[in-house]
Structure 1
Amino acid sequence: MRKSFALHTEPHVADIGGTELKFQPEVFGDDFMDSYAELRDAQKAKGVDIENLADADPADLRKTTRALRVFLARQMLPEAAEQFLRLEVVKGDRVLKSFQDLDEAEEFAAKQKGARIVDGLRLPTRVIVELLEWVVELYGGGSAGARPTGSSNGSATRSPSRGTPGRGSSRSKA
């Protein structure tokens, strides 16, 4: 018996409001799991409970979000990763300087009165979380604990039901 396995050769593309982020066609399992473990460690080290963000310290939350962006960027092609990780130190409407490293951006911003740091590619947190779930499904086969965000094109269709539906009430609705 012979079984052939296909390898993806074209990048995966996340289209976010017209901005395309290209992800590596394939990521080796150990590389993926190492970067995922670093993300989990960063989250735990900051004590940020993803289920209860209201109680999180804003500085810790920013570092956790940055760790999430770094994890996602490690799965991207270099050009997309650079765009996704870019930080801008802004004052009013003006960009003073761009960075890839959060610590460097914070150090620079601290020296500029009234400056703040923003992501170069600003995205709602929910989109970043959806990206995480998608990437875990793509490269980890869902094995890293994230749930898929929707039905897979490769899933089998539902089996047709036999007979007529029952007329009794469901206990779960009681």
Structure 2
Amino acid sequence: MAKKQFALNTQPHEAEIGDAVYLFEPEVLGDDFLDRYERLQEANRRLNIDPANMADADLSKVREATVAMRVFLASLMLPESAHEFARWDVIAGGKTVSSHTSPEEAAEAAAKRKGATVKDAGRRYPDRVLVELMEWVVELYGGGGNRPPTSSSGSAPVSPPPGRRGRAASPSRASTSTRGR
């Protein structure tokens, strides 16, 4: 009879960005992760943005894609971290009357109050940081390769370049055969 033990992560994963530390869920079930990731992919498809050609993209669509990425990342964080990272406040009479996890939810709440506005109250980061965080999270929960450590003191493996690597021999190998020499 064979026996195998499986470990579950119980400590939150940490992402350190500048002076902030964000805690991510220790484990996320595969289908939960895929559902959240699919919502992000749907937003990007709807916006029809080509990541390889951002120079020609409509800036309002780029902003919307960045918000979708922030909402996705926050959905994998523990509540306190998510509240700091991605939050939209409804302001009425100069005071915050409610906070929401997406701008759509905040807009709905603001529409119910006369004169209310929505303020992006989450922490803002450069796109390159968001992209790196996104790659780390996909590696972490998507099940690919070695999982990054739960502490931010270790570093995640370097992300592969975009595109799929083929299994064919490289042209340089094919053209430099040494057979018969």
TM over 0.5: yes
Looking at structure 1, the residues matched to 9 and 156 of structure 2 have their Cα atoms a distance apart, in angstroms, of 21
Give the aligned partner of residue 12 of structure 2.
Answer: 11
Structure 1: segments with no counterpart, 5+ residues: 90-94, 153-170
Residues 22-61 of structure 1: pairs in structure 2 closer than 5 A: 22-61=23-62
How far apart are residue 99 of structure 1 and its match? 5.0
Give the aligned partner of residue 129 of structure 1.
Answer: 131
How far apart are residue 150 of structure 1 and its match? 2.4
Looking at structure 2, the residues matched to 45 and 58 of structure 1 have their Cα atoms a distance apart, in angstroms, of 15
Give the aligned partner of residue 177 of structure 2.
Answer: none
How far apart are residue 87 of structure 1 and its match? 4.0
Aligned partner letter, 2:126? P
How far apart are residue 88 of structure 1 and its match? 6.7
Aligned partner letter, 1:28? L
Checking the alignment, whether the CA contact within 8 Å between 1:88 and 1:96 is kept in structure 2 is no
Checking the alignment, whether the CA contact within 8 Å between 1:24 and 1:77 is kept in structure 2 is yes
Looking at structure 2, the residues matched to 29 and 57 of structure 1 have their Cα atoms a distance apart, in angstroms, of 33
Runs of 4+ in structure 1 deviating by more than 3 angstroms, as ranges, are: 95-101, 115-119
Q: How many residues align?
A: 142
Question: Percent identity at matched positions?
Answer: 46
Looking at structure 2, the residues matched to 102 and 131 of structure 1 have their Cα atoms a distance apart, in angstroms, of 21
Give the aligned partner of residue 165 of structure 1.
Answer: none
Residues 153-164 of structure 1: pairs in structure 2 closer than 5 A: none
Give the aligned partner of residue 81 of structure 2.
Answer: 80
Q: Which structure exhibits the higher relative contact order, with contacts defined as CA atoms closer than 8 Å and separated by 6 or more residues?
A: 2
Deviation readout 1:99-148 (Å, 9 max, x if unpaired): 5332446x79xx79xx99656311110111111111111111138xxxx9
Give the aligned partner of residue 168 of structure 2.
Answer: none
Looking at structure 2, the residues matched to 5 and 64 of structure 1 have their Cα atoms a distance apart, in angstroms, of 37
Looking at structure 2, the residues matched to 74 and 36 of structure 1 have their Cα atoms a distance apart, in angstroms, of 10
Looking at structure 2, the residues matched to 149 and 139 of structure 1 have their Cα atoms a distance apart, in angstroms, of 13
Residues 161-172 of structure 1: pairs in structure 2 closer than 5 A: 171=172
Looking at structure 2, the residues matched to 4 and 10 of structure 1 have their Cα atoms a distance apart, in angstroms, of 18
RMSD: 3.2
Aligned partner letter, 2:67? R
Cα–Cα, structure 1 residues 79 and 61, in superposed 2: closer, same or farther, change >3 Å? same
Looking at structure 2, the residues matched to 59 and 88 of structure 1 have their Cα atoms a distance apart, in angstroms, of 20
Checking the alignment, whether the CA contact within 8 Å between 2:10 and 2:27 is kept in structure 1 is yes
